[in-house]
Amino acid sequence: MHMADALLSPVVGGVMWAASASLIAYSAKKVKNESDQRKVPLMGVLGAFIFAAQMINFSIPATGSSGHLGGGMILSILLGPYAAFLVMASILTVQAFLFADGGLLALGCNIFNLGFFTSFIAYPMIYKKIVGDNLTRGKIIVGSILSAIIGLQLGAFGVVLETVFSGISELPFKSFVLLMQPIHLAIGIVEGLVTASVVAFVWKARPEIINATVNNRPIGKVDMRKVLLGLLAVSLVTAAILSWFASSNPDGLEWAMFKASGKEELEVSEGIGSSLASIQEKIAVLPDYGFKNHQGSSSYPAVSLGTSVSGLVGGTLVLSVAVIAGLVLRRRKVTSE
């Protein structure tokens, strides 16, 4: 559900950049005040995990479409909304600049659609209401599934509104929204099941992490090695090998665009969108998660060294950015005391 610059006007793109930048600044301040040093490695590993998971598109039966994990609810449930938003912003920024996944003008929209609705709407208003103060495995699973579905539905609706308000594409509101919401409901069900599985794994291994997050308190002196090593191992395998098995079908947004306008991709108009597209083409060293000027494989699975390298490099970068951000915020907290 990564938006391209061709869908957005400079005004809408700029407003959403400002909104996401403000949320990043606000979230950074909240994470600094939380002063939870134990959360820093979890931020990094979860960032790498979500980055790798987003590389795997799964087919949506009987549609010719595909979807991938958003991951916002996994981050929110395990890290809390503020750290989750920062990690999601790190993932999407690395994807946009290094892999040309999502436009530069659209980066603010993508951070908002995939980060805001899960962290600041679905997590407090759906997940926390369901699990309450007395957490049980059943409540956590139900809360994870429903909040993931609703978070993705809100994100898909955000894409529709931002596109229509921009007014530069030939995508009419009615047909676009009637395609976007159902296809992302199907994707959201898968996302909900995966979210519940990951959260259930952590709940079984270290319930203290989820208890601490939902009650807004530091994780404390909890041995997180099993959780960190488990997530890291899955991230490495997913990025290096499982990414070859991604569906080649268009994702939900591309599918909806094609059904509504007859085109999976729209041309970037002249102006700032065109300039940013030129910049992105130059700085993206692994465009579309492969080596430059390398033709993609038409076979399945699409075994590719470029895909594996992209997954490992991207995951490492996201992990590094998230950990550095956490340490810098921690250091500022200590310095200010």
The pLDDT tens digits of the residues spanning 144-198 come to 999 999 999 999 999 999 999 998 887 889 999 999 999 999 999 999 999 999 9
- For the record, the structure tokens of 188 come out as 């959201």
pLDDT digits (tens, 9 = 90+) for 15-65: 999 999 999 999 999 998 887 788 899 999 999 999 999 999 999 999 999
Q: How many CA atoms within 13 Å lie on the side-chain side of 267?
A: 3
Nearest in space to 311 (alpha carbons), one of 235, 212, 223, 220: 235
Q: How many CB atoms lie within 10 A of CB 23?
A: 21
Task: Please choose, from the candidates 75, 69, 164, the residue with its C-alpha nearest in 3D space to the C-alpha of residue 116.
Answer: 75
- Please name the amino acid found at residue 127: Y
Taking each helix axis as running N to C, give the angle between helix 207-214 and helix 72-79, from 0 to 180 degrees, rounded to the nearest 10.
90
Contacts of 9 (CB under 8 A, 6+ apart): 165, 166, 167, 168
pLDDT in tens, 72-87: 999 999 999 999 999 9
Note whether 77 and 148 are within 8 A (CB).
no
Q: How far apart are CA 277 and CA 272, in angstroms?
A: 8
User: What one-character-per-residue DSSP string does 116-137 give?
Assistant: IIIIIIIIIIIIHHHH-SS--H
DSSP result, 63-107 = TTEEE----HHHHHHHH-HHHHHHHHHHHHHHHHHHH--S-STTH
Dump pLDDT digits (tens) for 9-19: 999 999 999 99
What pLDDT is stored for residue 69 in this prediction?
A: 94
pLDDT in tens, 267-279: 766 778 788 888 9
Above 80 in pLDDT, residue 330? no
φ/ψ (deg, to 5) at 58? -110, 145
Model pLDDT, residue 79: 96
| Paired residues of 66 in beta bridges | 59, 251
* pTM of the shown model: 0.94
**Helix axis angle, 72-79 to 137-166, nearest 10°:** 130
Residue 206 C-beta-side C-alpha neighbours within 13 Å: 18
